[in-house]
Amino acid sequence: MRAVELFAGAGGLAMGISLAGFKSEAVVEWDKWACDTVRENQRRGYPLVSSWPLHEGDVRDVDWSSIPEGIDLLAGGPPCQPFSMGGKHQAHDDKRDMFPATVHVVRTLRPKTFIIENVKGLTRSAFANYFEYIKLQLEFPEAPRRAHESWFDHLMRLQTEKTSGRLHQSGLTYNVTSTLVNAADYGIPQKRERVFIVGTRSDLDIDWHFPDSTHSEAALLHSQWVTGEYWDRHKIAKRDRPQIPPRLEKRIQALAAKAPTTLPWRTVRDALADLPSPTSAKASSIRDHKFQDGAKVYPGHTGSPLDLPAKTIKAGGHGVPGGENMMVLPDGSVRYFTIRETARLQTFPDGYVFHGAWGECMRQLGNAVPMELGRVVASSVAQALIESELRLLQNTSKKNKAAA
């Protein structure tokens, strides 16, 4: 199966797609530092990225006619600053809004499926009309915005023509589904809420639904406070284990009566258990695991507890946001996550290295899609594509037998 990746960044989503069985025909990213990260891993022979045809530049400047027909998957996370909770919330008025460019590539390549990832802020009530506009453009990519037509007038036209059924009668259309997910529910050691917009081409018999969650907070609480398996696994002596928080007592009682069927959320402690402290001598032998001084607690920025999934790793607009990108140690003090620790929280493999100074690497990681989450979503799409091909072969075989 063949894929194209837009806005690839440091490669988290693209590597997840590769793990799901897709071969990259083009990987596009404009940021020099992120491209240097990919190139450095290619020079080092890292297998998931070694054969990527990397294009450094704007997706709007790529000659898409050079890509052979028959792309199975188009994927990418258009820049999220226009919709980020910490951004300026300008949406369609923000020059960084790359959704129009994404729709253009869909229209040009006609992929069988697409996966678009973005921040939770896209679902805010203030962006409701524009979010609907994004989905309608992806549903009907061959009904583009006309000259001198405002985005809102285009939205009204798309809604009217969809209701009338005219847009479904001919041309390229997609079945589009949007889902807000928490990465922690899929085994990522981080509470990272993101929107996935997935489309399947309407002329194909593709039956897809978002994969069911595999992990839960309830299962984590059960392993911590009912069975104690969590503390046993981490060799935490009973005298050193925290007390059950009073606000959780009734919930723990209910969990004791009926155990969850999912796996426990993965915590910061789970993700970093076998990494030495960055201040120890052993840390010097581990790439990207260097102590960074200066972490401070301030209102609204209190760091990530060890025994929960990390707070959302963020890129920040002016330097690294310390509160989101630091951990709370057992004695109550805080320190920044190292690059390697942050990569673990984003489920990048230990063999994958990052190019640039600490702040630059943290920015790349904050912008990334967790590799494992990308694999989960892309694998579900790959499975749907395979099942579609099998149904097509079966139907063709039946027709041939009937005609014989």
Separation of alpha carbons 100 and 324, rounded Å: 31
pLDDT given for residue 178 in this prediction: 95
**Is 276's pLDDT higher than 90?**
yes
Q: Helices marked H in 140-280 — which ranges?
A: 151-164, 166-169, 217-221, 229-233, 249-257, 268-272
Quick one: pLDDT band at residue 343, thresholds 50, 70, 90?
very high
Q: Percentage of the chain surpassing pLDDT 90? A: 72
Range(s) within the chain of domains with CATH label 3.40.50.150: 2-213+369-395
pLDDT given for residue 323 in this prediction: 62
Domain 215-367's class?
Answer: alpha beta
Quick one: pLDDT band at residue 104, thresholds 50, 70, 90?
very high
Quick one: pLDDT band at residue 90, thresholds 50, 70, 90?
very low
CATH architecture of the domain with residue range 2-213+369-395: 3-Layer(aba) Sandwich (3.40)
Q: Taking the CA of residue 310 as centre, how many other CA atoms within 13 Å lie in the half-sphere pointing to its CB?
A: 28
List Cα–Cα distances, 244 to 127, 226, 247, 269, in angstroms.
Answer: 40, 10, 8, 18
Cα 299 from chain centroid (whole Å): 28
Which sequence positions are flagged as catalytic?
80
188-213 pLDDT, tens per residue? 999 999 999 999 999 998 999 999 99
Beta-bridged to residue 115, according to DSSP, are 75, 198
Quick one: pLDDT band at residue 246, thresholds 50, 70, 90?
very high
Mean pLDDT of the chain: 89
32-70 pLDDT, tens per residue? 999 999 999 999 999 999 999 999 999 999 999 889 899
Quick one: pLDDT band at residue 317, thresholds 50, 70, 90?
low
Separation of alpha carbons 354 and 362, rounded Å: 9
**Is 17's pLDDT higher than 70?**
yes
Range with the largest mean pLDDT of 96-105, 173-182, 325-334, 386-395: 173-182
pLDDT given for residue 26 in this prediction: 95
**Is 87's pLDDT higher than 50?**
no
Range(s) within the chain of domains with CATH label 3.90.120.10: 215-367
pLDDT given for residue 80 in this prediction: 54
pLDDT given for residue 322 in this prediction: 53
Q: Find out whether 190 and 310 touch, Cβ atoms under 8 Å.
A: yes
Beta-bridged to residue 114, according to DSSP, are 74, 199
Q: Is 355 helix (H, G, I), strand (E, B) or coil?
A: coil
Q: Global pTM?
A: 0.90
Burial tier of 43 (Cβ tally within 10 Å: 0-12, 13-18, 19+): exposed
Q: Is 341 helix (H, G, I), strand (E, B) or coil?
A: helix
**Is 83's pLDDT higher than 70?**
no
pLDDT given for residue 82 in this prediction: 52
214: which 2 tokens?
């595999």
pLDDT given for residue 169 in this prediction: 72
Separation of alpha carbons 375 and 362, rounded Å: 22
Q: Which residue has the tokens 């990108």?
A: 325
